[in-house]
Amino acid sequence: MTAQPPVPSKQKRPFFLRRGPMENIATGLIGLGFLMLFQPFLLIFYTWSLVTLLAGTLMFIIVSKFPE
């Protein structure tokens, strides 16, 4: 009998290290930034819309490099 090499078990990554769910969150953050930018009611939403857009875009760029 020959010894079989151990089969590596597929490790499940935590939620925040998987690409699919985090890309969805980043896309939602970008969409929220656009909604905040184009709403005419509250100035505070308009003020923070650019920060929200940039955070979502940066998050999307970073998470798109994560493995599936």
Provide the b/e sequence for 6-39 (b: ≥16 CB within 10 Å). eeeeeeeeeeeeeeeebeeebeebbebbeebeee
Domain with 38 in it: 17-63
**Rounded-to-integer distance, Cα 46 and Cα 54, Å:** 14
Instruction: Let me know if residue 40 belongs to a domain.
Output: yes
Residues 8-66 have pLDDT tens digits of 666 677 776 788 889 999 999 999 999 999 998 999 999 999 999 999 999 999 999 88
Q: How many domains are there within the chain?
A: 1
Amino acid 32: pLDDT? 96
Instruction: Let me know if residue 55 belongs to a domain.
Output: yes
Instruction: Let me know if residue 22 belongs to a domain.
Output: yes
Closest CA to 36 of 26, 47, 27, 45: 45
Instruction: Let me know if residue 57 belongs to a domain.
Output: yes
pTM for the whole thing?
Answer: 0.75
Instruction: Let me know if residue 56 belongs to a domain.
Output: yes
